[in-house]
Amino acid sequence: MKNKYFITDFVKFSKQLKTADVDAIQTELKEEYKALAVQYPKFHKMDLLSKLGFIATELLQKKVNFPSDTALIFQNNASSLVTDIQHQKSIQEKDAYFPSPSIFVYTLPNIVMGEIAIRHQLQSENTFFISENFQADLIKNYTQSLLDTKKASASISGWIDLNTEGYNVFLAFISEKGTLPFTTENLQHKFTA
């Protein structure tokens, strides 16, 4: 069967700090947000993983339009660990037990997909996978399956990982438009390059 899907476009950015510094990441993402020049006060309420997803999809949307059935197929290594640690700190000491609902709600990796869905009004398929490293074959096959069965007409698929020492984001827009064929090799190549 002829492959009729393409990696229409993608965004990719990463940061690796020398030591754990969540505050530095926080400050930096705030700058990135300002640079986008969009008004979205909810951004400031998001956890870091959601902020990364927000920024990535804002950048991606400058290049492509997302149909409302654009699937979100994400994967990462650390799940929501940075926020998990924050929540754990709020309950670790018995005499300072003040869990925060606005932190707890972000202790799931798929919340970033929810934030993106709200921002771009995507009533669509969502799946969040966890693995040590980016599994291009899984992301390719799973996305392809959704497109082939018409459960989505396009997909934002890729890797969005955050730990206390940095982050790595690679989100590709897959659709019937483009020139770079949507294959495992091309996806892996764009991720690594």
Residues lying near another protein in the complex (CB under 8 A) are found at 39, 41, 44-45, 72, 77-79, 81, 84-85, 87-88, 90-92, 94, 97-102, 104-105, 107-111, 113-115, 117-118, 120-132, 135, 138, 141-142, 144-146, 149, 151
Q: Which helix (H) or strand (E) holds 104?
A: helix 101-104
The residue among 166 and 193 lying less far from another protein, judged by its C-beta, is 166
Smallest gap from residue 191 Cβ to another protein (A): 17
Q: Cα 133–83–80 angle (5° rounding)?
A: 30
Cβ contacts of 170 within 8 Å, gap of 6 or more: 10, 11, 12, 134, 158, 159, 160, 190, 191
Smallest gap from residue 165 Cβ to another protein (A): 14
Longest dimension (CA), the chain: 63
Q: What is the amino acid identity at position 157?
A: S
**Helix pair 48-61, 22-36: axis angle to 10 deg:** 30
The residue among 128 and 167 lying less far from another protein, judged by its C-beta, is 128
Smallest gap from residue 88 Cβ to another protein (A): 4
Q: Which two tokens stand for residue 153?
A: 């007409």
Smallest gap from residue 179 Cβ to another protein (A): 25
- Give which of 179, 186, 156, 189 is closest to 11, Cα–Cα: 156
- Give which of 171, 180, 153, 186 is closest to 67, Cα–Cα: 153
Smallest gap from residue 90 Cβ to another protein (A): 8
The residue among 2 and 94 lying less far from another protein, judged by its C-beta, is 94
Q: Which two tokens stand for residue 145?
A: 């399956």
Smallest gap from residue 131 Cβ to another protein (A): 5
The residue among 151 and 189 lying less far from another protein, judged by its C-beta, is 151
The residue among 13 and 129 lying less far from another protein, judged by its C-beta, is 129
The residue among 146 and 193 lying less far from another protein, judged by its C-beta, is 146
